[in-house]
Amino acid sequence: MLSVHEITTAYQGLVAISEVSIEVAKGEIVLVAGANGAGKSTLVKSIAGAERPRSGTVTFDGQRIDGLPQHQITARGIAYVPENRRLFPRLSVADNLRLGSYMYRGKADREAPLDLVFQMFPRLQERLDQRAETLSGGEQQMLAIGRALMTRPRLLMLDEPSQGIMPKLVDEIFRAVKTIRDTGMTVLIVEQRMAECLEIADRAYILQTGKILMQGTAAEIGDNPDVRKAYLGL
């Protein structure tokens, strides 16, 4: 479904990721893990079109998408939830969700994902009229995921969804990721909390200083002695 081939992305001459290749198949949950500064965020930004890779290709459903403007990549069916969520803070929860379905016209088309969103995150339904900025960190993350689902993506990319959130809500969010996949969507998730994430992921890549260090099924990665020592603290 998604095929990233040898992309290199640099910020003002500093190479953040170098010739990184990853594959994501339909219906998978794929984890990209690695330490801070390993280039995880740069990788998803380069796929989403928020950063432009210097070289390499990104192919989605057989079509090249690298170089397209970011909003067109969203329109092709890739929803991206950035690390800092980027909600519209002074707009209501309802308006944030409505904006998610901006690309669609018919009422049925626009509201189709709402059931799933409210089923996973009932808190959002209780807070529809509240401004997004008044939500807690966890609720904001839920809203960001909800808004992304409203674009009706085929691939959902989450960058550090557990960051700055209390542990109870982290579990809720990881459970939601699984539910989302069970509805037929594909998920690419970037996380530092590798242990919890390996439980829901099918496959994983480990990035280190801008390069792919290791890849395999979630079980292989979780059982690898080096990974257990360096990343899982076991």
Partner 1 sequence: MTTATIIQSLASGLLMGLLYGLIAAGLALIFGLMDVVNFAHGEFLMIAMYTTFFLFVFFAIDPLLAAPFVAAALLVFGAVIYILVIRFAMRARSNVGMVQIFATFGLAIVMRGLAQFFFTPDYRSINTSWLGGQTISIGGVFLPVPQLVGAAVSLAAFTALFFFIKKTDFGRALEATREDAGAVALVGIDKNRVFAVGWGLGAALVGLAGAIMAMFFYIYPDVGASFALIAYVTVALGGFGSVFGAFAGGIIVGLVEATTALVLPPSLKAVGIYAVYLLVVFIRPRGLFGSI
Residues of the shown chain interacting with partner 1 in the complex, contacts defined by CB under 8 A = 49-50, 69-72, 74-75, 79-82, 86-91, 95, 98-100, 102-103, 147-148, 150-151
Minimum separation from the CB atom of position 52 to partner 1 (A) = 13
Smaller CB separation from partner 1, 9 or 101:
101
Smaller CB separation from partner 1, 75 or 234:
75
Minimum separation from the CB atom of position 68 to partner 1 (A) = 11
SS3 per-residue string spanning the chain: CEEEEEEEEEECCEEEEEEEEEEECCCCEEEEEECCCCCHHHHHHHHHCCCCCCEEEEEECCEECCCCCHHHHHHHCEEEECCCCCCCCCCEHHHHHHHHCCCCCCHHHHHCCHHHHHHHCHHHHHCCCCEHHHCCHHHHHHHHHHHHHHCCCCEEEEECCCCCCCHHHHHHHHHHHHHHHHCCCEEEEEECCHHHHHHHCCEEEEEECCEEEEEEEHHHHHHCHHHHHHCCCC
Smaller CB separation from partner 1, 84 or 217:
84
Minimum separation from the CB atom of position 97 to partner 1 (A) = 10
Minimum separation from the CB atom of position 112 to partner 1 (A) = 15
Smaller CB separation from partner 1, 80 or 205:
80
Q: Residue 13 contacts by C-beta under 8 Å, 6 or more apart in sequence?
A: none
Smaller CB separation from partner 1, 72 or 179:
72
Minimum separation from the CB atom of position 44 to partner 1 (A) = 12
